[in-house]
Chain A
Amino acid sequence: MKLTVDRLHVTLDHNPILRDVSLEAREGDIVGLVGPNGSGKSTLLRAVYRSLRPADGAVRVGEDNVWELSPRAAARRTAAVLQDAGGNTTGLTVTEIVALGRVPHHGLLGRDGAEDREAVSDAIDRCGVRPFADRDYASLSGGERQRVLLARALAQSPQLLVLDELTNHLDIRARFELLDLIRATGITTLAVLHDLDLAARLCDHLVVLHDGAVAAAGPVLEVLTPDLLADVFGVRAGTERHADGVIRITYAAQPLPNGGESPEHNHARLAETAER
């Protein structure tokens, strides 16, 4: 389903975190949310998965504003995989973790039915976690855990996936496998990614957040220009599509002396360094 974020303003403890943020993900698109630390990426996600109420603006999945739905109704549309530090899942098996995806589909009296078991089993298969389905989640490696959490999200039968740094701490092979998995689901996805190369590889579109506002949005090659990379990320780099169709970013050896100022400034400095 289509995701529309419309003129979103979010404040935390009276500090504005997001200012007038709008973005759109068409049905089936994977949209990457990138930006330096503290630019407001996770805050934007929280407003989307209904954890932090925006001061103004709307988040629509399909036609409905998620903030006008009940928490459970919203969670039947949007599934999130987060870096949650507060949890303590010791003692839950992989299957039990995946089954948590069915929580929003039941009230207090609901019992697990055939539909639930099917959704859980299907998610387990799709994410390839069947071999350790009965093991304690706490005993898994980082890559295995992320696949289990993705399976939990799929078991939710969502129309929108929200991913926060899904591939952190994973080795390169596990990253690629996970990205392929997400592509294969065909579900509209909004993903916060730290690694720009990975973002370029996975996403159809990118949205760049800088200081709580959208600095750029659009197809990867149009967004990740040398100017923007210098401006927002404070690095000298170029982006190009290689012969194999993969978009790669090439970074200069040294970062800019003082990242994130006006473009003219950076251009001047670039020219300066080039002369030397």
Chain B
Amino acid sequence: MIVGISIGAVNVPLDDVWGIVLHHVTGAGAAHSDPALDQIVWNFRTPRVVLAALVGAGLAVSGAVLQTVVSNPLADPIVLGFSYGATLGAVLVITLGGGAALAGLGVSAAAFLGAVAAGALVFALGQRRGRLAPTRLVLAGVAVGYVFLSATSYVQLQATPTELRTVMFWMLGSVSGAHWGQLPTVTVVVLATTTLLSLFGRRLNALLAGDESATALGVDVNRLRAVLLVLAALLTGTVIAVAGSIGFVGLMIPHLVRLTTGADHRRLLPLTALLGAVYLVLVDLLSRTLNRPNEIPLGILTALLGAPFFLWLLRRNKGLD
């Protein structure tokens, strides 16, 4: 993280970074002699790195939980339609701007509402006679995603080129807009939901044995599914709202952890959060250094860098045959 803070359009020596962060966090030592450097480190870089970590953790944990909830290794916030819901919300606000209906609603708030709306729709369509069936949930998620995607495409056609650029950048994801004001909410949501989801670890493991077996193990499968879906939608909605729709992390990071340390959720979820955080901090670091001083959107890099490694791991692992 410290390295992530130090490198950027302007490189700051590691010592200075330590000094500045330590000063702000603990009040120890003197303020840095160069106010500009202090400004860069504390007001731009630090919140950005913290946000990248939170977003990475949130997306990865959400993906891990969704994969188990719908018993489908391909599940992630995108497949279940959450991301497309958020995108539509964001794109509406970007293109309509101060449009009367949406006045007062920021891009983040709209994206959050979009993700939660998509989650609610999938939830409603995924059940029959009060039972949430895994396959039905996945199919409902994919269908809802397509509807939101069509609506988004239509709205984009009405947009001006400048707005389109903003939309494009948002859709590919970025944490460049990070500021201290947004961090408390995101931190609380990510930490709280991740902790809560980890507490469900034992029951998530039971779900791996299949619905009937889990029921025989005393798990109220339907209620568990409902609770987990709500938590995952909340978590995804929050992180997508502040960082845009970033792919790959939610799908691949959980599998990476499973392939290396196994599928026990009590270990899987914390490790997934950690790896997701580290991964997105690294990707963000590359996104602002590879093509200085321009930034490459995160969504482009997450898959481009992660996929080859993932494929290598997949080939090496025999347990999947």
**A interface residues, Cβ below 8 angstroms from B:** 46, 49-51, 70-76, 78-80, 82, 84-93, 96-97, 100-104, 106, 108-110, 136, 138-139, 156, 162
Query: Which residues of chain A are near B264, meaning CB under 8 Å?
Result: 92, 96
Q: Is A109 a contact partner of B199 (Cβ separation < 8 A)?
A: yes
Q: Is A84 a contact partner of B212 (Cβ separation < 8 A)?
A: yes
By size class, the interface of chain B is 20 to 34
Q: Which 3 A-B pairs have the closest CB atoms?
A: A75-B218, A91-B263, A87-B210
**Closest chain A residue, CB of each to CB of B209:** A87
Query: Which residues of chain B are near A100, meaning CB under 8 Å?
Result: 205-206, 209, 217
Q: Which residue of the partner chain, among B203, B209, B262, B263, contacts A84 with CB atoms under 8 Å?
A: B209
Query: Which residues of chain A are near B213, meaning CB under 8 Å?
Result: 80, 82, 84, 87
Q: Is B71 a contact partner of A90 (Cβ separation < 8 A)?
A: no
Query: Which residues of chain B are near A72, meaning CB under 8 Å?
Result: 218
> Given the complex of chains A and B, what is the CA–CA distance between A109 and B196 in angstroms?
10
Query: Which residues of chain A are near B206, meaning CB under 8 Å?
Result: 100, 103
What are 13 residue pairs bridging A and B, where the CB atoms are less than 8 Å apart in the complex? Answer: A71-B220, A73-B218, A75-B216, A75-B218, A91-B263, A92-B205, A92-B262, A92-B264, A96-B264, A101-B217, A102-B202, A103-B202, A103-B203
**B interface residues, Cβ below 8 angstroms from A:** 71, 73, 134, 199-200, 202-203, 205-206, 208-213, 215-220, 258-259, 262-264, 319-320
Query: Which residues of chain B are near A104, meaning CB under 8 Å?
Result: 217-218
Q: Is A75 a contact partner of B217 (Cβ separation < 8 A)?
A: yes
Contacts A82-B213, A103-B203, A108-B199 given; indicate if A87 touches B218 (C-beta within 8 A).
Answer: no
> Given the complex of chains A and B, what is the CA–CA distance between A108 and B266 in angstroms?
12
Query: Which residues of chain B are near A90, meaning CB under 8 Å?
Result: 258, 263, 319-320
Q: Is B219 a contact partner of A103 (Cβ separation < 8 A)?
A: yes
Contacts A91-B263, A100-B205, A103-B203 given; indicate if A71 touches B219 (C-beta within 8 A).
Answer: yes
How close is A40's CB to chain B, nearest CB, in angstroms? Answer: 16
Query: Which residues of chain B are near A136, meaning CB under 8 Å?
Result: 319
Q: Is B218 a contact partner of A82 (Cβ separation < 8 A)?
A: no
Q: Is A87 a contact partner of B205 (Cβ separation < 8 A)?
A: no
Query: Which residues of chain A are near B211, meaning CB under 8 Å?
Result: 84, 86
Q: Is A82 a contact partner of B263 (Cβ separation < 8 A)?
A: no
Q: Which residue of the partner chain, among A79, A86, A93, A109, contacts B262 with CB atoms under 8 Å?
A: A93
How close is A231's CB to chain B, nearest CB, in angstroms? Answer: 31
> Given the complex of chains A and B, what is the CA–CA distance between A103 and B205 in angstroms?
9
Query: Which residues of chain B are near A51, meaning CB under 8 Å?
Result: 212, 215-216
How close is A118's CB to chain B, nearest CB, in angstroms? Answer: 18
How close is B132's CB to chain A, nearest CB, in angstroms? Answer: 13
**Closest chain B residue, CB of each to CB of A91:** B263
Q: Which residue of the partner chain, among B210, B212, B216, B320, contacts A79 with CB atoms under 8 Å?
A: B216
Q: Is A50 a contact partner of B199 (Cβ separation < 8 A)?
A: no
**Closest chain B residue, CB of each to CB of A101:** B217
Q: Is B200 a contact partner of A91 (Cβ separation < 8 A)?
A: no
Q: Is B71 a contact partner of A88 (Cβ separation < 8 A)?
A: yes
Contacts A97-B209, A100-B206, A108-B200 given; indicate if A80 touches B218 (C-beta within 8 A).
Answer: no
> Given the complex of chains A and B, what is the CA–CA distance between A87 and B214 in angstroms?
9
How close is B219's CB to chain A, nearest CB, in angstroms? Answer: 7
> Given the complex of chains A and B, what is the CA–CA distance between A237 and B21 in angstroms?
85
Contacts A92-B264, A136-B319 given; indicate if A103 touches B218 (C-beta within 8 A).
Answer: yes
